[in-house]
Structure 1
Amino acid sequence: MRPSSLILPLAIALVLGTAGCSESTTAPAAPATATSEASMSTSRSHDESSYAQPEKVVITDLALDLDLDFDARQISGTATYTLDWKRDDANELVLDTRELDIRKVEAIGADGSAAELAYTLAPADKVFGSKLTITAMSQPAKVRITYATAPTASGLQWLEPGMTEGGKLPFMFSQSQAIHGRSWIPLQDTPGVRFTYSATVRSRPDVMVLMSADNAPDAVRDGEYSFTMPQPIPSYLLAIAAGDLVFQPVSPRSGIWAEPSMVGKAAKEFEDTEKMIVATEKLYGEYRWGRYDMLVLPPSFPFGGMENPRLTFATPTVITGDKSLVSLIAHELAHSWSGNLVTNSSWKDIWLNEGFTSYVQSRIVEAVYGKEMADMERMIDQAGLKEELADTPEAQQLLALAPLGELDPDEALSSVAYDKGAWFLQFLEQRFGREVFDAFLRGWFDSHAFGSTDTDTFVAYLNAELVSKNPHAVSAAELDAWINQPGIPSTAPKAISRNFAIVDSARIAVQGSGELPNREVTRHWVTQEWVHFISGLGDTQEVELLAKLDKAYGLTGTSNGEIAMRWYPLAIRSGYDAAVPQAQAFIEKVGRRKLIMPIYAELVKTQAGLEAARTSFERARAGYHPITTASVEAMLAQAKPAN
């Protein structure tokens, strides 16, 4: 999952703690209630964010039989687990739940017979939900749970027809990362447990249902759908969506699912997906998931993308018409090797997912769109990371985080995991050479495929496969500085962009003379260049200069979210009030947190702005995802306007 190509300001990050792409400045707390007896273990693989006890029993397969009720905003049905009991004395199956109505628990015999089992559902913890303990003295091979979700499930969003692109049919989609999967299925909700799954899903017959599984491009809407995921995945990669969805191919093994009015635009924007897949296969080996399809969600989707296997969820805000933001697809595709194939076993090692993926993303962009595009994006990421680290507590600047304890794992997912992690791998590439490092990374993916791992395991593999064979390339102290120390080491390779040097010259001229750059200079600028231009204008600018820029380049009212999230805050801070109505219109239409939270953050600094923010939130609330709603509510509650 990729939340941002440029780091969110720290003040915004503080209120994003209820979602998987959030950032935090709070040091990890003491051990939480969501720990099993294994919490005393020194292994980094232990996941303190789950009640599960995988040292006793693990789920190896999940079979779902579900009904979708759009009117009730509810999923109900059964989940049947195939279990692998690890200890002879184990007599309990412990699962994670959040707001689930558990109606029955049964042991399923080899002949299909069912016998009810005793269970207890603990009081809800505000972060981890309720521990479900099932007493299973006979260690049954299968257990079935009958349950229903709550309309307020944190991992599901239900949209009325009017909140969709087409406006005709309702829409529903899930977001399971980091620990929201437990809000729509009882689970061992930890990335350390992987399982295969199948599902039968019934819905109203006029909507198409999709899952992170084998979606058939020629599937017919008939109200009942079947899915299979033969590769073992962790719980956060479980995904479901339903709505007015049609398919358009972009290659024999890849295509777009979207609403009818969006599918053509998305297919054109993402037409290079097959090139990306081929480029990644050349670097890191076979794509092992069969198809790679993409689902373009309504604008309310709170993130840029989510790497659900076989079916990436993507925001429509990256469809700009010039392919300048398709690195998001490169990122989610890269997860097919780093994250989905080789997964962090706990959220304190999230850099093993996101840092590796951000590195691979950059290599894909370079292979398909050229080194200059990759350099511009690396430069944006590196500059943003440095800016964020200036206000981030040292404990949160490490790649290998301390145990998270009571901290919501959503809050552990910061730009450190993405951009410091990628920078570290770029450092290793530089020291060992690209050819050697490519072979090493491919070996890492191959040798750990379909498994979950931790930082200690990676360091041991790095030492055995690279460092021991090239002992003078990198020192132990340098590795420690990257993994276990705060900040960015002085040895970090700096990205340099030729195009950004031209942008800098144009901006300096504008700020010095007020004269706009020649249109021949700006005519071919892509999103990254405009982002760099606006970001370099400082905290505020003269209203006259902003008005001149706006008239020349149409920045107010832009449909490009990356530009909007930078232009509107600058305009609001500078007192350029002409931009405020369009800023409000933007945050009322789009629910992607990365794009709207910087705008809310500037609005709430004044009394008039706070009122505008409240008005816009009330208009938009019904269409926001629960994760976005919680973030905006927190910001509005904490607002202290200056006047």
Structure 2
Amino acid sequence: MKLRSLFAPALLCCTLAACGGPKQEQNTSAPQTSTVLISDEAQDLHSYARPQEARVRHVSLDLTVDFDRKIMEGTAALDLDVAKDAKQVVLDDKGLVVSQVTDKEGRQLPFAIGKADPILGAPLTVQLGGTQHIVVHYASAPGAAALQWLSPAQTAGKTSPYLFSQGQATLNRTWIPTQDSPGIRQTWDATITVPEELKAVMSAEMLTPDGEESDGGRIFRFKEDKPVAPYLIAIAVGDLAFKKIGPRTGVWTEPSMLEKSAAEFANLETFVSTAESLYGPYRWGRYDLLVLPPSFPFGGMENPRLTFVTPTVLAGDKSLVSLIAHELAHSWSGNLVTNATWNDFWLNEGFTVYFENRIMEAMEGKERAAMLADLGWSDMQTAATDAGGWGAPDSRLHLDLKGRDPDDGMTDIAYEKGAVFLRTIEQAVGRERWDAYLRSYFDRFAFQPQTSAGLLADMRAHLFKGDKALEDKIGLDAWVYQPGLPKNAVHVTSSAFVQVDAAAKAFAGGGSASAIPNQAWSTQQYQRFLNTLPRTLPAPKLAELDIAWKLSSSGNSEIRFAWLMLAIGNRYPPAAASADQFLTSMGRRKFVDPLFKALQAQGPWGMPLAKSIYTKARPGYHSVTATTVDKTLGWNP
């Protein structure tokens, strides 16, 4: 499928092999200005932007954070690339309160906000009048979906309010007026004014670490000179402290959580160097973590330079830090090379799960990596069942999300089937050849969007090089475009799980908990054991297990979650208090939504409990989590 550049020579020509053959290797020491890909696959159905007419090249934010009114207010100055004879630019807007739009000299520019769609928001169309620089004067709405405003009581310190954003997939249009499409990469900078006693951090280079005094509070300045997908612009404001870990790594969090967080992530610098040894240099400068309050909806969010992390990974023994391998891997797959549209979400996540596993193999050995991959295989099978089976359209990697929320595609099909596809290619071509290809792939497409068609074209040009028999053996197009799991799928199995499966069978058959040889088990082995047990266990057996392993009070979130799924599946009443405490103490969607689904599935036994817990928990959830659970429970807020 042929792709073309929109504004040549102002923008680089697209780099896919389909653009007229393999491109020449380019200097990857500095970011290139990315093109907008125009093809059937690259048309972003989740944005109103018309980049063939005018596209945003740079965003400059000047905003004041107002905790009293729960808004951000100020300006967004946009630098544009404008096609010849284009008269307007179309931006994405979801609930913004726009007071005026001007050019850089302050002249008023006509603008209009179109009809709103519940998923997409509304188009914000600005008449350019010959300018390529516009300034949008606006405020976010108090209920902006990307922003969560926390009271002091909802923080670890209990003394100061807190704000954080979560932009993926299309939520940043609720606080930034830009073209909110992952295929339209933009550089950006920001000037953020916050209350005097607080600190702001963002997913960019911090130019003023201590802030600057002003009459309105304290000003923090940031700059990101590498083009990023707009969903990766992120902010947090609160009582924040920093601890250095390595020359380019460290941890931000609330002061009372700092030592615990730094200890958990003490190997952060090693993670970065290990990733670099696999697929090339880390290109974003620093790699810091921000450990957020527990309402953060994801395990982690790969915002450049500053990964946002849930405190649910703070197990105290580094047993859950594979999550950091995942978020770090996104610095290549997702941040460096980004899915052009959300239909190809697997290009971000499938590559990242594969890369995460390779990092963990290099750091902790093949058996640990095998356990993670084997658990991922089970998660993939569950996701396929949830999607309607392997014959269902949503079991494909390349999806059709027209008229749907992009979140509908954020399942373990994208994550785990995508990773299995890449492992299958690795086995077919050999690891050495595969690694060489991946490293060159990240170089060729650095700081650019990508489509499934583009990836397959590049594989054919640079990996298979005309070997049609090998291509056909793997079945590239079937993997990406057809539902189902091809028969050649590589299932990595863990030898450590053989003992675990035998123990689960013996326990389910009447064996005692004290006979289980779990003294040296990893988190993954506990997960496998609990996930394998039948949902027909009698209450005395569950009580025996709970007492022996203290599962209802486990501080390891993955083990606690697996236990609660087992207990709820068996309608075990004593676990209700643990479920209540767990679901009201954090908002990580990975745990929250499946637990409410499990309660709902238990009908008259579980549904009243689900409603009781959700009534208490919902006000503390980020909109990402609340929106999902609302659908699950049929909740009408």
Cα distance in 2 for partners of 1:411, 1:575 equals: 29
3-state DSSP class of the match of 1:83? strand
Q: Which moved more, 1:46-55 or 1:481-490?
A: 481-490
- 1:193 lines up with 2:184 in the alignment: yes
| Contact persistence 1:59–1:193 (CA under 8 A) | yes
Match of 1:523? 519
Match of 1:174? 165
Cα distance in 2 for partners of 1:293, 1:275 equals: 13
Match of 1:119? 111
Cα distance in 1 for partners of 2:260, 2:38 equals: 51
Match of 1:129? 121
Match of 1:256? 251
Aligned partner of 1:398 among 396, 399, 418: 396
Structure with greater contact order relative to length (CA < 8 Å, sep ≥ 6): 1
- 1:609 lines up with 2:606 in the alignment: yes
TM-score, normalising length: structure 2:
0.90
- 1:334 lines up with 2:329 in the alignment: yes
Aligned partner of 1:412 among 409, 419, 435: 409
Match of 1:246? 241
| Contact persistence 1:564–1:595 (CA under 8 A) | no
Match of 1:599? 595
CA 1:470–1:324 in 2, change beyond 3 Å: closer, same or farther?
farther
For 1:561-572, list aligned pairs within 5 A: 561-572=557-568
Match of 1:618? 615
| Contact persistence 1:174–1:241 (CA under 8 A) | yes
Shift of 1:164: 0.8
3-state DSSP class of the match of 2:446? coil
Match of 2:274? 279
Match of 2:530? 534
Give the partner amino acid of 1:442.
Answer: R
Cα distance in 2 for partners of 1:524, 1:477 equals: 39
3-state DSSP class of the match of 2:553? coil
Cα distance in 1 for partners of 2:300, 2:563 equals: 23
Aligned partner of 1:149 among 140, 143, 166: 140
Cα distance in 2 for partners of 1:217, 1:247 equals: 14
Cα distance in 1 for partners of 2:358, 2:635 equals: 41
- 1:375 lines up with 2:370 in the alignment: yes
CA 1:638–1:619 in 2, change beyond 3 Å: closer, same or farther?
closer
Shift of 1:361: 0.6
Aligned partner of 2:572 among 561, 573, 576: 576
- 1:309 lines up with 2:304 in the alignment: yes
| Contact persistence 1:514–1:545 (CA under 8 A) | no
Match of 2:24? none
Aligned partner of 1:291 among 277, 286, 310: 286
3-state DSSP class of the match of 1:429? helix
Identify unmatched segments of 5+ residues in structure 1: 1-38
| Contact persistence 1:80–1:143 (CA under 8 A) | yes
CA 1:120–1:217 in 2, change beyond 3 Å: closer, same or farther?
closer
| Contact persistence 2:428–2:474 (CA under 8 A) | no
Aligned partner of 2:91 among 86, 89, 95: 95
| Contact persistence 2:370–2:492 (CA under 8 A) | yes
Cα distance in 2 for partners of 1:410, 1:628 equals: 11
Superposed CA deviations along residues 133-188 of structure 1, whole A, max 9, x for unmatched, are 111131x1210000000111010000000001111111100011100010001110
Aligned length: 593
Aligned partner of 1:165 among 146, 156, 181: 156
- 1:213 lines up with 2:204 in the alignment: yes
Cα distance in 1 for partners of 2:393, 2:378 equals: 20
CA 1:293–1:506 in 2, change beyond 3 Å: closer, same or farther?
same
Shift of 1:619: 2.2
Superposed CA deviations along residues 216-247 of structure 1, whole A, max 9, x for unmatched, are 69535851100000111111101000011100
Match of 2:484? 487
Cα distance in 2 for partners of 1:261, 1:168 equals: 11
Match of 1:462? 459
Name the % identity. Answer: 42
Shift of 1:476: 6.6
3-state DSSP class of the match of 1:607? coil
Cα distance in 2 for partners of 1:80, 1:201 equals: 14
Superposed CA deviations along residues 492-545 of structure 1, whole A, max 9, x for unmatched, are 1111112111111211221223222546x2122121111100000022311111
| Contact persistence 2:425–2:474 (CA under 8 A) | no
Cα distance in 1 for partners of 2:354, 2:474 equals: 22
Match of 2:14? none
CA 1:265–1:624 in 2, change beyond 3 Å: closer, same or farther?
same
Cα distance in 2 for partners of 1:279, 1:545 equals: 43
Cα distance in 2 for partners of 1:390, 1:94 equals: 39
Superposed CA deviations along residues 279-326 of structure 1, whole A, max 9, x for unmatched, are 111111110000000101111011111100000001110111122211
CA 1:383–1:221 in 2, change beyond 3 Å: closer, same or farther?
farther
Superposed CA deviations along residues 2-43 of structure 1, whole A, max 9, x for unmatched, are xxxxxxxxxxxxxxxxxxxxxxxxxxxxxxxxxxxxx99753
Alignment RMSD: 1.9
Match of 1:427? 424
| Contact persistence 2:535–2:566 (CA under 8 A) | yes
Identify unmatched segments of 5+ residues in structure 2: 1-35
| Contact persistence 1:213–1:310 (CA under 8 A) | yes
